[in-house]
């Protein structure tokens, strides 16, 4: 932490801000846990691929079913649909799980 500067936020203000940020992170993680527990309770099988909806002007993304990003708005798609969405340039392939490689697109 840098030196305290006159007129700036106090060290206590900054610590209280940090506390609020961490409380929001914890609340978000607890919501993810609740959703995952609900998903598991429904006996949901892991789909082969999922499409993640884009937010705002952002394009969507295709993932392997095992790379479901926590908290993301996703829905299951078949391999054919995943291939079609990637071909149509309306979605990106996730750079972590590389569904494009698994689909033989590279
Ligand atoms: Zn992924």
The predicted structure's pLDDT at residue 2: 59
Same domain, 87 and 55: yes
Cα 18 to ligand 1 centroid, rounded to whole Å: 30
Cα 46 to ligand 1 centroid, rounded to whole Å: 13
Cα 32 to ligand 1 centroid, rounded to whole Å: 17
- Is residue 1's pLDDT more than 70? no
pLDDT in tens, 34-59: 888 887 887 777 889 999 987 766 67
Give residue 79's domain range: 49-102
Per the domain annotation, does 3 fall within a domain? no
Same domain, 56 and 79: yes
Cα 90 to ligand 1 centroid, rounded to whole Å: 16
Per the domain annotation, does 20 fall within a domain? yes
Tokens read off for 98? 């590389």
Identify the H or E element spanning 91.
Answer: strand 91-93
The predicted structure's pLDDT at residue 106: 76
Same domain, 29 and 67: no
According to DSSP, the β-strands at 74-77 and 49-52 are: antiparallel
Percent of the chain residues topping a pLDDT of 90: 47
Per the domain annotation, does 2 fall within a domain? no
The predicted structure's pLDDT at residue 81: 93
- Is residue 68's pLDDT more than 80? no
Same domain, 89 and 64: yes
Cα 41 to ligand 1 centroid, rounded to whole Å: 23
Same domain, 40 and 53: no
DSSP 51-66: EEPP-TT--EEEEEGG
Cα 52 to ligand 1 centroid, rounded to whole Å: 9
């Amino acid at each position: 932490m840098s030196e305290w500067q006159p007129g700036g936020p106090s060290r206590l203000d900054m610590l209280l801000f940090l506390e609020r940020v961490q409380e929001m992170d914890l609340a978000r993680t607890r919501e993810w846990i609740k959703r995952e527990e609900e998903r598991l309770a429904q006996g949901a099988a892991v789909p082969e691929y999922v499409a993640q909806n884009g937010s705002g002007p952002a394009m969507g993304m295709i993932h392997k079913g095992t790379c479901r990003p926590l908290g993301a708005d996703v829905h299951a798609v078949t391999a054919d649909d995943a291939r079609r969405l990637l071909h149509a340039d309306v979605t990106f392939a996730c750079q972590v799980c590389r569904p494009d490689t698994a689909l033989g697109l590279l």
